[in-house]
A = this chain, B = another copy of it.
Amino acid sequence: MTILNNKTQQSSGRQGVTSRKRTRKNDPERVRADIMRVATREFSEKGLSGARIDEIAEKTQTSKRMIYYYFQDKETLYLRALEQSYQAVRHKEGELDLDHLPPVDALARLVAFTFGHHISHPDFIRMVMIENIHHGRYLGQSEFIQSLNAGAIEELERIYRRGVTSGDFRDDLDPLELHWLISALSFFNVSNQYTFSHIFNWDQAAPDNQKILQGHVIDMVMRYVLSREAMLRHLDGQPDPQA
């Protein structure tokens, strides 16, 4: 039972250069954010059951005690990490500034952005995958995420309506279903890159191939949405007359 009792004089030797005494600084916001940052990475990498609270604590500036102080238990911590993941990828409306573009260009750009945005946030993708493995049980508990994403398709809706009005787009599509199609292609590109690459011995993540796939996705969506007339122009490679 040799318990070393080095309470005093035991300094982490990291944050205090001037004061060598143990002058603890209370900084709840920082501690919370620190935990969240580490937890999000751990959960997204290893899943809810794979992540270890002790490991999260170690990678933190603080202790395991604080995790349970700010978040009741592992599941709550996971839920908060999930929420933060969703929040982190949510881009502000109008950030793309698409409303001034002709519908055809606007849609092409939105699809291109969505595709790239998914690539830029692999840990978000992983969190969503993990959450789906859990049948969306935790997401269902979060009214926060629901409200957050409620307006996620407003931008697409505006573009689509403009396109229908201008005659560039067919008028029989549902923006939600269109969003589903775009999401599917963008999501799969990140989520399944490992298995797909392995099985077909094809380096899907290689920049060249990513460019090819992005081109396919954009073109595929455009061809699906364009009206008959716009499609003919598209097939003939003619520029948009409005441009």
Contacts and interface: CB of A to CB of B under 8 A. Distances in A.
A202 B220 CA distance: 24
A152 B196 CA distance: 12
Interface residues of A, number: 55
Per assembly, the copies of the chain total: 2
A70 interface: no
Interface string A194-225: 11111111101000000011001101100110
Interface string A117-154: 00000000010111111011001100001100100110
Contacts of A228: 235
Given A129-B133, A130-B133, A177-B216, A149 B199 contact: yes
Interface in A137-189: 139-140, 145-146, 149, 152-153, 176-177, 180-181, 183-185, 187-189
A200 B180 CA distance: 10
B231 A195 contact: no
B177 A181 contact: no
